[in-house]
């Protein structure tokens, strides 16, 4: 079982990534990132120091702990800094974090979160020199929780680590290159997590999806145009990843000048191995894609990820996700013919149910939708 410290950190990441507004990037559990424009903006949450306080000295069985965590935001400096200052790019991020974390008990997992007090400032702004100049804002928070004196789990034993979803990027290609591939570069994954990749392709389909040298397994496929040329939506999964950084590469069946493809990748932490509960699909030719599970989920703690694939270009209406789903990543090709676009929605559930995913108000196109349910620990 994960320590309460780790559970709290993952729960904070989940809170920051759920419903984040425009201008606020996805937050990742602490890891190193190269300071390249393609990696920005980004948020990283890392633990710092912890101070224990015995409750009921000198022989009390409970330890009150104050863990200081750092939330580091990085954003590219504008080409022409405004009068507000280049660091203003991080303002939506720091404002969002304060609103989501201060006073939060993470569903009763901890006692409280406060902005750091004492000699260290709660927020600092700096500039870093990488390939370009970047603004950095560091927020310090104090997380208060109690554990037994003999281990770092809650006095009551605690529960499983929460499910954490992290967007890992998207890509598209049209007419492809000589190698007939579409690629998301530099994808960093935590050991033990699950990688989910959805691929939509028009006039072709993916034959393999790899993260580095490791193959993903296909979980679900649905053809939504069969005549005269095939268009396909696929879901690929890799459980219990080794951890590290590598490119995600989808290789398609044939080369040609009239093919489009789009894909997105999502990392999920806190899942079982294997993670897949079930997968469902549907097809249509209207503006309101939807799919309903044909059976209830097998347990309460699961994440639902849905994807719509259609034969439209990038930039079309994304629609609006219903039934508690949150808008995720999207992308699409823009070749003018045989294009393909893809859109993600997701929902973390805490009860068994027969769920429906719908994305209404899109363009009127041929489409396929796949819904998967993944099992939490």
The predicted-structure confidence for 311-332, as pLDDT tens digits, reads as follows 887 777 889 999 999 999 999 8
Q: What percent of the chain has pLDDT over 90?
A: 42
Structure tokens that stand for 298 in this block: 């097998």
Spatial CB neighbours of 281, under 8 Å, sequence gap ≥ 6? 220, 222, 233, 291, 368, 369, 370, 371
CA distances from 17 to 116, 166, 217, 305, 327 (A): 21, 8, 27, 15, 11
Q: Please determine, for residue 31, whether its predicted confidence score (pLDDT) is greater than 80.
A: no
Structure tokens that stand for 243 in this block: 């951890």
For 167-201, give one letter per residue: b (16+ CB within 10 A) or e: bbbbbbbbbbeeebbbbbeebbbbeebbbbbbbbb
What are the chain's domains? Answer: 4-148 (3.30.70.1700), 164-376 (no CATH)
Confidence of residue 37 (pLDDT cuts 50, 70, 90): low
pTM of the model: 0.63
CB 4 within 8 A of CB 165: no
314 membership: H or E segment, kind and range: none
pLDDT, position 314:
74
CA distances from 63 to 67, 107, 140, 154, 166 (A): 12, 20, 22, 10, 32
Q: Please determine, for residue 18, whether its predicted confidence score (pLDDT) is greater than 50.
A: yes
């Amino acid at each position: 079982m994960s320590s309460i410290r780790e559970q709290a950190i993952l729960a904070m990441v989940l809170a920051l990534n759920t419903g984040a507004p425009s201008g606020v990037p996805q937050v990742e559990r602490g890891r190193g990132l190269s300071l390249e424009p393609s990696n920005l903006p980004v948020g990283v949450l890392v633990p710092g120091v912890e101070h224990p306080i015995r409750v009921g000295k000198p022989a009390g069985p409970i330890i009150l702990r104050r863990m200081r965590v750092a939330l580091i935001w990085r954003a590219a400096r504008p080409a022409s800094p405004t009068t507000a200052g280049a660091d203003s790019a991080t303002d939506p991020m720091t404002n969002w974090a304060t609103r989501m974390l201060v006073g939060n008990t993470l569903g009763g997992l901890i006692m409280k979160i406060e902005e750091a007090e004492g000699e260290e400032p709660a927020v600092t702004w700096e500039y870093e020199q990488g390939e370009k100049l970047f603004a950095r804002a560091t927020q310090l928070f104090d997380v208060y929780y109690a554990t037994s004196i003999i281990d770092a789990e809650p006095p009551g034993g605690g529960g499983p680590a929460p499910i954490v979803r992290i967007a890992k990027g998207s890509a598209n290609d049209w007419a492809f290159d000589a190698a007939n591939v579409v690629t998301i570069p530099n994808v960093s994954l935590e050991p033990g997590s699950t990688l989910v990749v959805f691929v939509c392709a028009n006039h072709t389909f993916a034959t393999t999806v790899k993260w580095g040298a490791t193959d993903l397994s296909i979980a679900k496929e649905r053809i939504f145009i069969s005549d005269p040329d095939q268009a396909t939506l696929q879901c690929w999964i890799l459980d219990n990843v080794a951890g590290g950084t590598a490119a995600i590469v989808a290789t398609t069946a044939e080369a040609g000048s009239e093919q489009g493809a789009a894909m997105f990748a999502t990392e999920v932490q806190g899942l079982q191995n294997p993670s897949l509960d079930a997968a469902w699909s549907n097809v249509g030719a209207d503006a309101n894609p939807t799919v309903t599970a044909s059976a209830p989920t097998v347990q309460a703690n699961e994440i639902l990820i849905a994807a719509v694939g259609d034969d439209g270009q990038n930039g079309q209406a994304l629609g609006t996700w219903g039934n508690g789903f949150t808008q995720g990543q999207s992308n699409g090709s823009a070749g003018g013919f045989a294009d393909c676009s893809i859109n993600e929605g997701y929902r973390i559930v805490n009860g068994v149910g027969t769920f429906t995913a719908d994305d209404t108000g899109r363009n009127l196109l041929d489409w396929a939708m796949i819904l998967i349910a993944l099992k939490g620990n």
